[in-house]
């Protein structure tokens, strides 16, 4: 496992985040099936949660608070599903997992935003991996800006 072979290490510096903390970069997911869905990605290459050090955990806590608050304020999210899986990395012959979190805000009510209706028909149950929504770039930008405007 080597950061030199890690796609995420190469990609990460090129991506413009919603916001970042000292150790984590918060990026909007292109899939907005769950409005405000994003990634929280460790800036350095570490391959499991066991490798996260104290400073990175405390900084993660800061990121969690800031992001959850902004998503509540921006869109009225009721709950957040957090997961750190890293399965896909193991599809390669030589796996180079890089710690990142998937964040899916969950909604008890539908949300109208940018002329679109975002709904969460399975609120109260496990996220549906087939609930995907590819939106135009200007919609992605508007979602990102709305979250940024609520970072406080």
Q: How far apart are CA 83 and CA 59, in angstroms?
A: 17
CA distances from 46 to 12, 52, 70, 103 (A): 14, 7, 27, 19
Q: How far is CA 16 from the centre of its chain?
A: 13
Site string for a copy of itself, 5-34 (x = CB under 8 A): ------------------------------
Which CB atom, from 59 or from 146, has the smaller least distance to a copy of itself? 59
Between strands 116-118 and 111-113, the pairing is antiparallel
Q: How far apart are CA 55 and CA 22, in angstroms?
A: 9
Interaction with a copy of itself in 66-125: which residues (CB under 8 A)?
A: 68-69, 78-88, 90-91, 97, 106, 108, 123-125
Q: How far is the CB of 17 from a copy of itself (least distance, A)?
A: 19
Residues that bind a copy of itself (CB under 8 A): 48-50, 52, 54, 57-58, 60-61, 64-65, 68-69, 78-88, 90-91, 97, 106, 108, 123-127, 129
């Amino acid at each position: 496992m080597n950061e030199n072979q890690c796609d995420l290490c190469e990609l990460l510096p090129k991506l413009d985040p919603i916001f970042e903390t000292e150790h984590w970069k918060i990026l909007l997911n292109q899939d907005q099936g769950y409005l405000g869905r994003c990634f929280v990605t460790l800036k350095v290459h570490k391959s499991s949660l066991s490798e996260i050090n104290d400073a990175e955990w405390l900084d993660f806590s800061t990121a969690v608070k800031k992001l959850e608050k902004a998503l509540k304020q921006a869109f009225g999210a009721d709950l957040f599903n957090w997961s750190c899986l890293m399965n896909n990395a193991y599809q390669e012959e030589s796996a180079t997992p890089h710690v990142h979190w998937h964040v899916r805000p969950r909604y008890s009510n539908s949300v109208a935003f940018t002329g679109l209706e975002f709904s969460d028909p399975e609120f109260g149950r496990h996220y549906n991996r087939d609930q995907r929504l590819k939106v135009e770039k200007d919609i992605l930008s508007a979602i990102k800006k709305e979250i940024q405007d609520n970072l406080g």
